[in-house]
A and B are shown apart, each in its own frame.
Chain A
Amino acid sequence: MPQGINKKNTGTHTPLQKTLTGIGGFDDITDGGLPTARPTLVCGGAGSGKTLFSMEFIVRGATLFNEPGVFVTFEEKAEELASNVSSLGFDLNKLVATNKLRIDYVHIDRSEIDETGEYDLDGLFVRIGHAIDTIGAKRVVLDTIENLFLGLENKGILRAELRRLFQWLKDKKVTAVITGEKGEGTLTREGLEEYVSDCVILLDNRVVNQISTRRLRIIKYRGSVHGSNEYPFLIDEDGISVLPVTSLRLNAKASTERISTGVPGLDKMMDGKGIYKGSSMLISGTSGTGKTSIAASFATECCKRNERCIYFAFEESPEQITRNMQSIGMDMEKYVKKGLLKFQAARPTMYGLEMHLVVIYKLIKQFKPHCVVIDPITNLITVGSSSEIQSVLTRLIDFLQTQQTSAVFTALTPYNILKEQTDETISSLVDAWIQVRDIEMNGERNRALYIMKSRGMNHSNQVREFLISSRGLYLQDVYLGPEGVLTGSAREAHMLQKRTEEILQKHSLSKNEKAIERKNQELQLKIKGLNSEFDAIREELKNDFVEMQLKKDVAADNRIELTRLRENSTLTDSDSSTKNKK
């Protein structure tokens, strides 16, 4: 027996060291990656992503952390493996050429092998050991070691040797990933979990309603806290992304900054400032009420401020949206070209609900938008039950809040009377809820908008008429008629009527004024007349007075004259008296 191969590891592992995998999100849920210098079992059914997981572990180690790795494959040849993962942007040949990676294909052909007597797997040990030593590997993958069981008859020897192998890997101080095919009722077909007991990860690919969702669960992680939930994960051109879905700590920061909704009238209803930055707004309404238009104007407004925005469209294609919004005076194309606006369109049935969430997470992490539009959120219901929806939306809104990303969701309310669940489930999560609805009256349909709730601000309680025109969206001021708020042509009619009344009133007013004027003139004339009359009388009276004075004076003169005359007549009394008697 060679030295070193069977030596017991006496070193202590406290505190537990971890090795970052570099797999998106996985290091978060494991709080630092896989246990360093210990083997980890990754098990799952066919096509669950075991090989990819382990390959990414090796490749990321080599490229990100400068930890060379050895990939021992029992299934695929090195060339096959390289071409399989090249679609994920992993250039294995280059890594091999730069001594960052070694791929060892262990081929076991039962037809050319016979067994007789005692043997051990030192050959394998030597091969792995040689590979590790040549490039100074820190990471090792054995994919899938259970294939040994297919090639060898003596299971007793094999089991003992595997136990020794895992111990030996520990002694070699390499962080190992061992993959195993899921068996019936057991985690692995050959019960590998008995030997690898430090960390066990289960990968799963479940199909519900013809939609498959990949999930990952940490079954066991000795000596470490770990999330015990099932985490959905995504395999795309960037490899695996695991979604840390349960950071529901409700400790999101609250901004006091306000941003415009893109509809001036709506901002006015919300204190005149719009919604809080980093908050979420739900626009619900029946079909054709202009939800998408409001959402699009929110996105456009965001871009106008030179901020980034992602528009998740689950109903229309990006071209459709830009074309349609062009008709109401919104140029979204411009911002797409500028790189401020990003459309992400997908049919809801493209993948499961959790997958959608992962995709949204990923894009938000990459693009780092200030605003996000999800239009419509209700379409996701088709791919999940209501409890799932709630769970997904809770996590989504929570995530957006922690990212300080403002969000607008639209929700389609069905026409029927049955109270829709979405509104109820999501409404408690969002900060602002706006309802747009049809008002059908006098043979026409008009849109009305009102705020159901808006946390943390004064908001109008009025129902506003909501108009979509070629110049954009605007809210008509509250128009109250005798029967309440008037909309559409009823409002127009009422306005016309009002105007007529006003004109009439103005007219009658001027008539009255003229009458008054006339009366005034009349009065003035009368006053003039009276005045002149008065003057005449006064003149007359004055004349009388003068006459009387004159008379008085004359009388006095006369008396004097008479007196004088009488004095004279005393001399000639007879003459005069006779004369006077005559």
Chain B
Amino acid sequence: MENDETWELRLYIAGQTPKSVTALRNLKKYCETHLQGKYHIEVIDLLVKPQLAEGDQIFAVPTLVRKVPQPIRKIIGDLSNEEKVLVGLNIVPLSKS
């Protein structure tokens, strides 16, 4: 795990729906807990920029895309299951280390 690398995360949403609000809240919480200072979250609202959906092959929202580090990972859903999100993004939980 390269600790010095900044995590680039993108969260695709379609409007301020309860699901996207929940997802963003969850994501921020996990990042603050496990990736403090080493992450950057970009929220893309597809209702505003629909042309961006094709590039990252988004079909469901909310979708979290890990651009960096490679390879690209995607997690769809409101990210309510912390463990699944951490495994999916391959984040080593700080609290347990």
For residues 2 through 57 of chain B, which have their beta carbon under 8 Å from a beta carbon of chain A? 12, 14-15, 17, 19, 22-23, 46-47, 50-51, 53-54, 57
Residue of B14, B58, B62 with most chain A CB atoms under a 10 A cut-off:
B14
Whether a CB of chain B sits under 8 angstroms from the CB of A127 is yes
Name the CB-closest residue of B to A2. Answer: B15
Does B72 reach chain A (CB closer than 8 Å)? Answer: yes
Cα–Cα, bound, A152→B61 (Å)? 13
A1 and B59 contacting across the interface, CB-CB below 8 Å: no
* Residue from A104, A107, A115, A126 in contact with B14 in the complex, judged by beta carbons closer than 8 Å: A126
A116 touching B47, Cβ below 8 Å: no
With a CB–CB cut-off of 8 A, which chain B residues contact A114? Answer: 73-76, 84-85, 87-88
Whether, in the assembled complex, A441 has its beta carbon less than 8 Å from a beta carbon of chain B, the answer is no
Q: Is the CB of B46 within 8 A of A123?
A: yes
Query: A129 contacts which chain B residues (CB < 8 A)?
Result: 50
- A123 touching B84 in the complex, CB below 8 Å, given contacts A1-B15, A114-B76, A118-B77: no
A13 touches B (CB below 8 Å)? no
Which residues on A sit within 8 Å (CB–CB) of B47? 2, 126
Contact with A along B59-76 (1 / 0, CB 8 A): 111110000000111111
What residues on A are CB-neighbors of B63 within 8 Å?
119, 123
A123 touching B54 by the CB < 8 A rule? no
A343 CB, min distance to chain B CBs, angstroms = 50
Within 8 A of B (CB), among A466-522: none
Check if B76 sits within 8 Å of A113, measured CB to CB. Answer: yes
CA distance A112 to B72 in the complex (A): 7
> Do residues A116 and B79 form an inter-chain contact, with CB atoms below 8 A?
yes
- Known interface pairs A108-B59, A123-B46. Does A116 touch B78 (Cβ–Cβ under 8 Å)? yes
Q: Using a CB-CB cutoff of 8 Å, which residues 213-228 of chain A contact chain B?
A: none
Interface centre among B73, B74, B75, B76 (most CB of A within 10 A): B76
Residue in B19, B23, B50 with the greatest tally of chain A CB atoms within 10 Å: B50
Q: B14 contacts A2, CB within 8 Å?
A: yes
Within 8 Å of chain B (Cβ to Cβ): is A121? Answer: yes
Whether B76 contacts A119 by the Cβ 8 Å rule is yes
Closest residue of chain A to B85 (Cβ to Cβ) is: A116
Does A130 belong to the interface (CB within 8 Å)? Answer: yes
Q: Which residue of B lies closest to A158 (CB)?
A: B60
Contact across chains for A126 and B53 when beta carbons are under 8 A apart: yes
Q: Which residues of B sit under 8 angstroms from A82, Cβ to Cβ? A: none
Among the listed A1, A2, A109, A120, which residue makes an inter-chain contact with B60, where contact means beta carbons less than 8 Å apart? Answer: A120
Q: Does A117 contact B (CB under 8 A)?
A: yes
Query: Is the CB–CB distance between A122 and B46 below 8 Å?
Result: yes
Task: Provide the bound-state CA to CA distance between A148 and B22, in Å.
Answer: 24
A114 and B61 CA atoms in complex are apart in Å by 13
Tell me if A115 and B77 are in contact (CB < 8 A): yes
Complex contacts, A127 vs chain B, CB 8 Å = 46, 50, 53-54, 58-59
Please report the C-alpha to C-alpha distance between residue A112 and residue B71 in the assembled complex, in whole angstroms: 9
Are B76 and A122 neighbours in the complex by a CB distance under 8 Å? no
Is there an interface contact between B80 and A116, defined as CB atoms closer than 8 Å?
A: yes
Q: Does B81 contact A (CB under 8 A)?
A: yes
Closest Cβ of chain B to A80, distance in Å, is 16
Contacts of A118 in B (CB 8 A): 19, 22, 77-78, 80
A141 to chain B, nearest CB (A): 16
Residue of B nearest to A151 (CB): B59
How distant is the Cα of A113 from the Cα of B81 in the complex, in angstroms?
15
A457 close to chain B: CB less than 8 A: no
Q: What A residues does B14 contact at CB under 8 A?
A: 2, 122-123, 125-126
**CA A125 to CA B23, docked complex, whole Å:** 19
A124 and B17 contacting across the interface, CB-CB below 8 Å:
no
**Does A281 sit at the interface, judged by CB under 8 A?**
no
CB distance from B73 to the nearest CB of A (A): 6
Q: List 25 A-B contacts (CB under 8 A).
A: A2-B47, A107-B57, A109-B57, A114-B85, A114-B88, A115-B75, A116-B76, A116-B78, A116-B79, A116-B80, A117-B78, A117-B79, A118-B19, A118-B22, A118-B78, A119-B60, A119-B78, A120-B61, A123-B46, A126-B14, A126-B47, A127-B53, A127-B58, A127-B59, A130-B51
Known contacts A122-B46, A123-B59; 14 further A-B pairs (Cβ under 8 A): A107-B57, A113-B75, A114-B88, A116-B75, A116-B77, A117-B23, A119-B61, A119-B78, A120-B19, A123-B12, A123-B14, A126-B14, A126-B50, A127-B58
